[in-house]
Structure 1
Amino acid sequence: MTTSEVANKLVELCRQGKIDEVLETLFADNAQSIEANDMMGPRVVEGLQAIKAKSAAFQADVEEFHGAKISDPIVAANSFALTWTLDATFKGRGRMSMEEVCVYQVKDGKVILEQFFY
């Protein structure tokens, strides 16, 4: 898959709420995930299994989703970026609206890096 194809598929699946499918089909086994801070768990996570565990922990921390909006991707060479706005109630933290820029790097048709800025 090209970077553009990966980007469009990621956005399509995320808009459908299929985060597990995104990780399973679009991420490399040695992918890395970098958060802006420690608010969502470990700042740096390496390897697909660790990223899946981080995602599962995030989802388990959500009491209720109120809405989300994901922009179309902006693609350049082997990278793409998008914005993601999330409105959710978190266990012990109440309702929060979050807006972030998500940047992805692709190699050999798979995401090898995701980094979040919020």
Structure 2
Amino acid sequence: MTTQEVATEMVALCRAGKWEECIQKFYSPDIKSIEPEGATWGTVQGFDAIAKKGQEWQEMVAEFHSSEISDPIVAENFFSITMKSKVTMKGLDQPINMDKVCVYEVSDGKVVKEQFFYTPMPALA
């Protein structure tokens, strides 16, 4: 698959809320995931670490209100999207908006690296 094909299909699956299917279909077993400095997870690598990160995220969310994912922008073996979500986190009374830029690197039809750019939330007391 080309980078454009991977990007288009990943966005479609994510928009449909099929996150697990997206990971299983497109992520390399050795995927490297990089969060911004000060974020909860930092850098993790591999399916197990990605699954753990996803589970921990789900456990932090009290209510998921909305999500918007942009069309991908593709250049060679990279693509980027924006993700905008409105969620209520456990321990907070009001929903918050979470916006991030996501950059993916594709090799042989698989995502080998993802990097997220956003302002990390302060730790909940």
Report if TM-score (shorter chain) is over 0.5.
yes
Unaligned ranges ≥5, structure 2: 119-125
Identity of paired residues, percent? Answer: 46
SS, match of residue 71 in structure 2: coil
- Counterpart code for 1:52: A
Partner of 1:85: 84
Residues 35-54 of structure 1 aligned to structure 2 (within 5 Å): 35-39=35-39, 41-54=40-53
- After TM superposition, the score normalised by the length of structure 1 is 0.94
TM superposition shift of 1:37: 3.1
- After TM superposition, the score normalised by the length of structure 2 is 0.89
Say how many residue pairs are matched: 117
Q: CA offsets, 1:2-59, max 9 Å, x none?
A: 11111011100110111111111110000000011343x2210011111111012112
SS, match of residue 72 in structure 1: coil
Partner of 1:75: 74
Distance 2:61 2:37 in 1: 18
Distance 1:110 1:13 in 2: 15
Partner of 1:101: 101
1:11 aligns with 2:33: no
Structure with greater strand share of residues: 1
Q: CA offsets, 1:49-87, max 9 Å, x none?
A: 111110121122111111010000000100000111010
- Radius of gyration: which is bigger? 2
Runs of 4+ in structure 1 over 6 Å off: none
